[in-house]
Structures are given as structure tokens and as C-alpha cells.
Chains A and B, each alone.
Chain A
Amino acid sequence: MTACILLAGFVCGSAEQAPRLHIIQAAPAFVLSDQSGKNVALADLKGKVLIVGFIFTTCNGSCPATTSRMVLLQEELKRRGQWGKDVQLLSITLDPVRDTPQKLRSYMGLYDIDARGWSFLTGPAKQVKRVIADWGMWVKKAANEQLDHPSRVFLLDRRGRIREIYNLEFFRIPWVLEDIGSLLKE
């Protein structure tokens, strides 16, 4: 027996309708080197909405999937004429010893990544290790030369605040575009 039916769209929920993309925390600052060896400081990117992922180029687990999803985002942002403007993608290496700027450039070529709107970041191992920890991420050695790590992608607003954290299950392009759009309107 059907006990109760209500139409979707009937919004009876929270008495307090707060913004959906809550402020999770201020993004931890960093200065790292991009694929061409140029310094990139998070502080210099304020004013842009950022998508920040953590990967390593020899990963055969979740990193290729994460990068591929971000490539789909790149293509959609290009289609909308937003590429290289108010939105910036960053991928920070989890393996700074092996992921030299040259390796990062090769990896970008493999995925047809356009450096005008997407930078891959590395640096001295100690420095990268600190960034990984500051962002609540971690890396540990796994079998077959692989690294175990959480799969998270961060969405930052124009003021450098983390407003959403996705994992692969939830990093769906229409939803990410919707979230980016919300932040661009703020």
C-alpha cells in the first residue's frame, strides 16, 4: 500500500535555507612549481574559481580516472568559452620525486591538457609533502610501486575558500559546472 506520495520539487526541508556550498575552510596556502618550472602561489590565483586535484603520473588506480574527468571539464569549459578566464584547474603531484616538470609536461600531452587553464604542480619533496598534509591528504606506499592516497578534488571560490570536496563518485561534470557557476555569481 502506498503510504504517502509527494511530488519532487516540494521543498519542505530546512527551516534555515543556508547556502548549499558551505564554507568548509580557507584553502591552505602554497607556492609550488608548474610544469614549466614557473612558481605558482595559491594567493596569486585569488579572483578565480579553482578546481584542485591531487594525482601522480605513474598511478594506475584512481588518478587517471580523476584526470580524465577533469579533461571532460576542460572540454566543457572550452565549449562554453570559459577556458583560461575565471576558472583554473590545478593538479598537485603526490609523488614529487618522480614527477619532475618534464614528466608533468609529458603527462599533460598524453591527456591533451591545455596549459592555458590547467597547471600541474610539483616541487621539492619536503615542500610538496607539507602541502599534501596541509590539505588533509596523505600518501603511503602500496604494492607494485604504487601509492595509496585518498581521492578528493577540491572546489575553491574566488576568495580561496574550499566550498566543496568531490570524490570520483560525485565528480560529475554537470554538477561541477553548476557549482562553478554558483561561485562565479557570488
Chain B
Amino acid sequence: MKRSAVIGLVCVAAALGFVTVGNAETCLSPFVKRLDRPEKFLYVYCVDADAKDNDFLAVVDVARGSDSYGKITYQLDLGTKGNETHHFGFTDDRTHIWGMTLFANRVFIIDVASDPAKPKVVKILEEPGAGAGFASPHTPYALPGRMMLSFLSAKDGGLPAGLAVFRNDGTMIEKLALPEDTPYGYDVAIKPDINRMVTSSFTYFNNYKNPLAKMDFKKFGNDLLVWDFRKRTVLAKLKTGGAPLECRWSLTKGTNHGFTNCALDNSLWVWEGTEDGKYSARKLCDTGKLPADLRQSPDDRYLFVSCFASDEIQQWDVSDLKNPKLHSTLKPGIQPNMMHVTGDGKRMYITNSLLSTMDRSEDFWVKLARITPEGMKLDETFHVDLTRFKTGPARGHDMLLN
């Protein structure tokens, strides 16, 4: 064998190693550069709770052994209020975070490379989806050198939702329209090794802007779409329980299945592809009430689902897709929502705000669960209080580690 071939085999394996099962941050785009060390900073995307002051990004020191461990060490003022800051995500090179907003139709591009302890806003995209006819940016998903965004609404706050691709400088370059009969949008996830993408469905701005009691629950999606990612075409439309939210592909190379949490059906669903190209979806298990977020263990064995309305996080063993087992349950406090599992699979950070129109408590916090072989255990020594800012309480939503 030629020397170059030997070098190649070794190095391809090594270079791809950071995204293989066993030791990698889960639930980020597979195109995002992974951390090769334990986390030092936890970024929490915060909504000013009464919307009277500016929203912000809180930096929490999570470097083990640090004097300020577990403390908020910096607040990045986003300069405007009432954004409903929600999900955010890294660019492929992990130098910037794109922060989405559900009420303001705005995207914050935040530099986290120049000084990770003190991120700064470098650009704000106003009405970023206007060129494609979309509004309400929800999921930022890194592609090599670009960002794909899902939008929940059309420009008028209604339907259809859709997706668009942007250069990392914020210029839109591509629109992905949804089929006319499946116009709801939410999350997106890509599995590069099999060239497949899945999108899910929630509801649109003119509905979710209302208080929970006034939302029309008939106007939520119950579709998953399976796409040929390279061709940008839809291969299959799958029906699920109401409001399939997060899309999580199996992390194992070559597998052709993934999971979603159906918020209005109190269940987890699995989608599965076969060698002849067919796809199907079926209910995997019932969960607690209003499963709002879904995360994976790096070894591809467990799913973590936050049950917002029953105040619990469930850990499901899905190593046997025919026989999922509830492995452990954690009661971290009221209305747990977003989670973030570390690359070693041993820690999980938790926040407890869903939407300002849906939260039922203003006791906002960030907590930490230790993930042991026996299950999740709350680390009682870690508690970041999000109620005592000078501006009052803040709803912490999505989190990222750096």
C-alpha cells in the first residue's frame, strides 16, 4: 500500500473521530467543530422576563476548579427587548453564534472566538428571511461555511414556513420551500453519511404569539419530512403525533433512523428508513406531559426528554428500538425545558423557560444533572439563579458550551 494511502486511512479516521459515537457533543450540527476539552463557558440565551428591558446572553463560568465556577461572569446586552430569544447555534468553525428570535424576526450574529469570556454582537440581521418570504427564525444549523435556518412563518406571520441558507456573513443564498400540503416548520437535522435531512413541524407566529389558553391547537403540524439533502428534495412525508419538535438522527454511522418529541401527543416517535429507500414513523413510547426538548447521549443509547408540564426529565434507553425502557427520571424543579449534554456524556445543563406565552413560573434557573450509569442525579451544588438581575428575572432558554 502506498504511504499516502496509509497516511490517508489513519488521518481520515482520526479527523472524523471527533464526530463518531462515544465522545462528542450531541445535538449540534455534525458540521460544527467539536470541543476537544471540557467546557469552560456556558452561554445561556435569555429573554428579559417582563420584556421591559433588553434581552441578553449570560456567560456562566463552568471551568472546573475556577474561583467563579457556577457564577454568571458576563452579560452581553443584545440592545433590544421583546425579541423572545430562543434557539441559537454555532457556525461550522465555532467562531460565531447565530441567535434566533421568535417575536422580533431578527438574528444576532455573536463573536465567541475573539474573547470567549466576553462575546460581542458583530451583526444583526433584520428580517433575515424576507427575501424568501419567511419570518420567525427558529433553528440555526451549520453547514460548511454557511448557516441553514428554519423559519416558522411566512412574512405575514402565517404559513407557509420554510428554510433558507445563508453565507456566514449573513447573505441569503438559497431558499428551501416546503410542500404545499405540509406547510408547518420547526427543526432541521442532517445525517451526512447517508445524505438525509429531516424537518419537523410546530405552529406559526400568529398562533404561538398568543397566550397558551388562546392558541389554536388545531393549527399545529404533525409532519416529518425526510429530504435528500444534496438534492434538496423531499423523499417522504411522515405523519406523527402532534407537534413533532426536535429532530435527532441516530449518532451511529450508517444507521438510518432518528427520533422526535411530539409535544402535543406526550410521546417520542422514531422514524426509520430501509435499504430500499422507504421511510416510516411510529410511536416509540409515551412520555410525561408536553415533551419540549430532546437530547442524546454520545453513545447513542439514551434519549433525554424534558417534560415541561409534568416537571420532569426522562432518560430512555433506546438501544432496542422495539423495546424502549425508561432508565431514570429527574425532577429538577418546575417546567424544565432546554438541556445540553456535554461531549463526554457525563453532565447535562438544564434551563426552565419554554416561551413567554407558555411559562407558568418565574422561578428561572440553570441547573446541572450528573449522568451516571444508574441515571440522572441533580448536582445540588450547581444552581444559577436567573431571577436576581438588576433588570429582574430572565427566561433562560437555549444553551451552548465553549
Interface residues of A (CB under 8 A from B): 1-16, 18, 20, 22-25, 61-62, 64-69, 71-72, 110-112, 136, 138, 150-152, 154, 165-170, 175
Contacts and interface: CB of A to CB of B under 8 A. Distances in A.
Given A9-B235, A110-B3, A169-B31, A23 B175 contact: no
B232 A152 contact: no
Contacts of A4: 236-239, 280-281
Contacts of A154: 145
B146 interface: yes
Interface string B175-195: 111111000000000001101
Given A3-B240, A5-B280, A150-B93, 13 more contacts: A2-B282, A4-B239, A5-B236, A7-B277, A11-B234, A11-B235, A22-B174, A71-B5, A110-B7, A111-B4, A150-B145, A152-B144, A170-B192
B40 interface: no
B230 A25 contact: no
Contacts of A169: 16, 19, 30-31, 192-193
Contact of A64 (B11, B144, B178, B230): B11
27 contacts: A1-B283, A4-B237, A10-B236, A11-B234, A13-B225, A13-B227, A14-B232, A16-B175, A20-B230, A20-B232, A24-B146, A24-B173, A62-B11, A64-B11, A64-B15, A65-B14, A68-B5, A69-B8, A136-B145, A150-B33, A151-B15, A152-B145, A165-B144, A166-B144, A167-B92, A169-B19, A169-B192
Nearest to A179: B230
A14 B230 contact: no
A60 to B, nearest CB: 8
Contacts of A136: 145, 168-169
B177 A12 contact: no
Contacts of A170: 31, 144, 192
A172 B365 CA distance: 44
A16 B174 CA distance: 11
Contact of A15 (B4, B177, B235, B237): B177
A2 B280 contact: yes
Given A6-B278, A169-B192, A22 B11 contact: no
A168 B230 CA distance: 15
Contacts of B5: 68, 71
Contact of A68 (B12, B33, B283): B12
A68 B9 CA distance: 8
Contact of A165 (B143, B179, B238): B143
Given A3-B238, A6-B278, A13-B227, A25 B167 contact: yes
Contact of B235 (A3, A6, A110, A168): A6
Nearest to B160: A15
B231 interface: yes
Interface of B: 2-5, 7-12, 14-16, 19, 30-31, 33, 92-93, 95, 143-146, 165, 167-169, 171, 173-180, 192-193, 195, 225, 227, 230-240, 276-283
B62 to A, nearest CB: 21
B236 A167 contact: no
A68 B12 CA distance: 8
A130 B30 CA distance: 29
B30 A64 contact: no
User: A8, A110, A152, A166 — which one has the most chain B CB atoms within 10 A of its CB?
Assistant: A8
Given A11-B234, A65-B11, A68-B12, A110 B4 contact: yes
Contacts of A67: 4, 8
Residue of A11, A14, A67 with most chain B CB atoms under a 10 A cut-off: A14
A168 B92 CA distance: 12
A168 B31 CA distance: 9
A62 B17 CA distance: 10
A3 B171 CA distance: 39
A168 B16 contact: yes
Contacts of B234: 10-14
Contact of A12 (B3, B144, B237): B237
Contact of A8 (B146, B232, B236): B236
A23 B281 contact: no
A80 B10 CA distance: 27
A12 B179 CA distance: 6
B233 A13 contact: yes
Contacts of B283: 1
B281 A2 contact: yes
A15 B7 contact: no
